[in-house]
Structure 1
Amino acid sequence: MSEKFSPALRLGDLNDFIAPSQDCIVSLKAIKSKHERVENKEREKPSSQQSQEEAVKISLKDCLACSGCVTSAETVMLEKQSLNEFISHVNSDKAVIVSISPQSRASLASYFDLSPSQVFRKLTTLLKSMGVKAVYDTSCSRDLSLIESCNEFISRYKQHQLSGGKECGSSLPILSSACPGWICYAEKTLGSYILPNISSVKSPQQAIGSAIKHHTAQKLGLKPEDIYHVTVMPCYDKKLEAARDDFIFTLENTENGDENPGLKIVEVDSVLTTGEVLDLIQSKSMDFKALEEAPLDRLLTNVNEEGYLYGVTGGSGGYAETVFRHAAKTLFGRDIEGPIEFKTLRNSDFREVVLEVEGKPVLKFALCYGFRNLQNVVRKIKIGKCDYHFIEVMACPSGCLNGGGQIKPKKGQSSKDLIRQLENIYMQDVLVANPFDNPIAKRLYDEWLGEPGSEKAKKYLHTEYHPLVKSIASQLHNW
């Protein structure tokens, strides 16, 4: 498996992805048929005549659902998730919409010695000059995901207290679900015992995909099938997430007058990593820093009237901090002012915060980054000895700012130094704001979703997870 994917997809016990003794089931079929054809042709042709090699194409869906292995690694073709594919659609009759993550902006800001706001505006100039229709901000959809996560936690916490933890649907701790590397690992190796604990809320990437294809398309005078939606993410695992069958919907013959009922539409058509966007910039042979700064598209972008970006703190989405703050106020009437201080435990990638009422701990949250820490947490949950209520889980050490799709350290710069720099840059010109006060989120609930936790919100902003049973072949080693 490529080093670009998260550690959770590369570690030894995740044999769906890395055991070298296994071959991809798709390529096996193709290779077998090719060998048979070659053997037949060799009987008929002179030995000097060589058979033409045939490329084996494997889609992301094959990789995600395959119970075999995608080892030989760099040869796997991620067909619909490439820079060339993006450029080809910019030049097509599709309306291309790009949604950019704040982590990617921070990485580009570090590379070009700019602020995240400057990067965002310059990228908007570049992308629109290529023919992109709109450029949005996934901080907006992250606020939707955070609001739903807060609502989900309050509901599960109350159920858990009433039932003593025995009522179906009240499983605690809740494990955040925004990291696709962690989700893929959970589905493929941990099975059904851990899946009830995982938050059902979609990641910001998929939340903005849902908003664009199900709601914003109408505001733009477009049909979902006419939009090619691209996200810019810090992580290669996001390519796998976008290809999940759970994030494909079927057009219905509704009052909107869809002409293609039954057509299958994906929420996110393609994912580009930060590094791939840097490749795009460099391919233009331009001075990126000298580009003009375009006005931002306000429809789905966290920018206020004065032009300032706003959002939550936390380079991995701020899930633990936001939910903790909301739960403290909603459940115990405690207003927490200022930043929340997480206590470092076994290492800097495992931290916790506790709320006490009358000397008793009533809320216990944790940040769990990196696979080693994750294994310890999973082990405790399995044996029923995990006393946390909510855990923000990320597969990569240091979280999303350290995603495999981010720009690598410059010559002479260590990875640790780069992470520290990204953490400082991330909120450099961004105002801290409560997701519940976000006017865009309020509008989307008013016009489209109803209210947090509603049936519509569950339909469009939540998902399901599936334990994937390995085939016998995937569990065998070379004999």
Structure 2
Amino acid sequence: MAAPSQQRLVVVSVSPQSRASLAVQLQLNPTDTARKLTSFFKKIGAHFVFDTAFSRNFSLLESQREFVQRFREQASSPQALPVLASACPGWICYAEKTHSSFIIPYLSTARSPQQVMGSLVKDFLAQQQHLTPDKIYHVTVMPCYDKKLEASRPDFFNQEYQTRDVDCVLTTGEVFKLLEEEGILLSELEPALLDGLSSSVSAEEPTSHRGGGSGGYLEHVFRHAARELFGIHVAEVTYRPLRNKDFQEVTLEQGGQVLLRFAAVYGFRNIQNLVQKLKRGRCPYHYVEVMACPAGCLNGGGQLKALDTPSRELLQHVERLYSMVRTEAPEDVPGVWELYQQWLQGEASERASHLLHTQYHAVEKASSGLSIRW
């Protein structure tokens, strides 16, 4: 056993998508799954278990703020629009390596929910627990293998304390394997309440956001922009499928004029079409929610598969359980504003910019030895 000075606080942050996938596999409802997972992680040594739906509040609020600002700047900054969502690391990896400096100016700088949770755990929670960041070991449970790549980015490494914001990423499938290896039936565990990062946040049940299984970026930014830029309240967001169900469009119209045109673009076939539109100067969108996986994060590569169930049917089950939990609008969560004031020193502060945003980098293609002329 480690000496007290070497012991670290262990924190686990679970994504809503992983929770839904496990709920289907274990035939539990999402709330029971969340509580029994909390019990499991604490049984094997975790001190805190959080829901990344809470950190996603910050990602959504920063995304809406960034979009409105860039929309207002479009006349003076030709690359202000479209804003391309950046929460999907598979898409980001492709953008940086394949289209680099052309695509990067369009990418949203808002951190993903995983990396906002990294800031919350290694900065806010560390302060609350009177610990330095290196004394906390942070594990996230995600629907996607590429989240491991995201966690390992140099941008999310604290040089002073030589520690990552997220130390370890487990996919949904890896958590299920861990349960099997430990010989634990989740259904038989006593439930335990999720932990809350803020005193004013009730952690009695898991929550989510409306707008689909990839986080609801399009819907949240669309509703806010309609209200903030044009004074229009959008009750229902209506999607219009274009090439296929993974390429859909949403518009805000008034008096026959299109004020906002947003799109959800999932899967690399559709992403390539989007990039071609951009390169030809024919991209009509102001904002695009981009996800590498067809059908989005609920269908991530790290999610559980079922040999005896068709993938489409399984995904429908996961979507149904994902949507069963209570949804909250980020601006209505009291603990979020509390943290903006106490932890981040206000909205749009330098500290908020540092802890809730990031930058992307062109990745030079390595020259192939085959191209060398002898």
Normalising by the residue count of structure 2, what TM-score does the alignment of the two structures yield?
A: 0.94
Q: Provide the residue aligned with 2:349 in structure 1.
A: 454
AA partner of residue 377 (structure 1) = L
1:414 equivalent among 310, 313, 326: 310
Secondary structure of the residue aligned to 1:97 is: strand
Are 1:277 and 2:277 an aligned pair?
A: no
Contact 2:38 2:191 (8 Å CA) reproduced: yes
Query: 5 Å matches for 1:45-444?
Result: 93-160=7-74, 162-163=75-76, 165-166=77-78, 171-251=80-160, 263-299=161-197, 304=202, 307-313=204-210, 314-337=212-235, 339-409=236-306, 411-428=307-324, 430-444=325-339
1:94 CA drift (Å): 1.5
CA separation in 2, counterparts of 1:413 and 1:436?
Answer: 39
Contact 1:302 1:309 in 2 (8 A): no
Unaligned ranges ≥5, structure 1 = 1-87, 252-262
Shift of 1:285: 1.5
Are the aligned partners of 1:137 and 1:300 in contact in 2 as well (CA < 8 Å)? no
Distance 1:126 1:211 in 2: 22
Q: What residue identity is the alignment partner of 1:366?
A: A
Whole-angstrom CA distance in 1 between matches of 2:119 and 2:310: 38
8 A Cα contact 2:51 2:206, kept in partner:
no
| Contact 1:194–1:382 (Cα < 8 Å) also in 2 | no
Aligned residues: 369
Please say if residues 122 and 292 of structure 1, whose CA atoms lie closer than 8 Å, have aligned partners that are also in contact.
yes
Q: Distance in 2 between matches of 1:146 and 1:476?
A: 45
Counterparts in 2 of 1:184 and 1:474: CA distance versus 1, 3 Å = farther
What is the distance in 1 between the residues matched to 2:14 and 2:320? 19
* Contact residue 171 and residue 303 of structure 2 kept, 8 A: yes
1:474, distance to aligned residue in structure 2 (A): 6.9
Cα distance in 1 for partners of 2:198, 2:23 equals 21
Offset, 1:470: 1.6
Structure-2 separation of matches of 1:110 and 1:225: 36
Structure 1 match to 2:362? 467
TM-score normalised per structure 1: 0.74
- Partners in 2 of 1:303 and 1:421 — Cα distance? 29
1:309 CA drift (Å):
3.0
Distance in structure 2 (CA, Å) of the matches to 1:331 and 1:360: 15
Structure 2 segments unaligned to the other structure (5+ residues) = none
Note if contact 1:303-1:310 (Cα within 8 Å) is conserved in structure 2: no
State how far apart, in whole Å, the 1-side matches of 2:300 and 2:198 are.
24
Counterpart of 2:308 in structure 1: which amino acid?
G
- Per-residue deviation, 1:476: 4.5
CA distance in 2, matches of 1:461, 1:348: 31
- Once the 2 structures are TM-superposed, how far is the Cα of residue 142 of structure 1 from its aligned partner? 0.6
Q: Distance in 2 between matches of 1:475 and 1:202?
A: 38
Q: C-alpha distance in 1, partners of 2:205/2:367?
A: 55
- How many Å separate the matches in 2 of 1:230 and 1:475? 41
Q: Distance in 2 between matches of 1:220 and 1:474?
A: 52
Letter in 2 for 1:93: Q
Contact 1:109 / 1:116 at 8 angstroms: preserved in 2?
yes
Q: Please tell me whether the aligned partners of residues 139 and 302 of structure 1 are also in contact (alpha carbons under 8 angstroms).
A: no
* Cα distance per residue 1:436-468 (max 9 Å; x no partner): 111221121011213333211111111111111
Quote the Cα distance in structure 2 between the aligned partners of 1:308 and 1:129.
Answer: 19
C-alpha separation in 1, matches of 2:100 and 2:175: 36
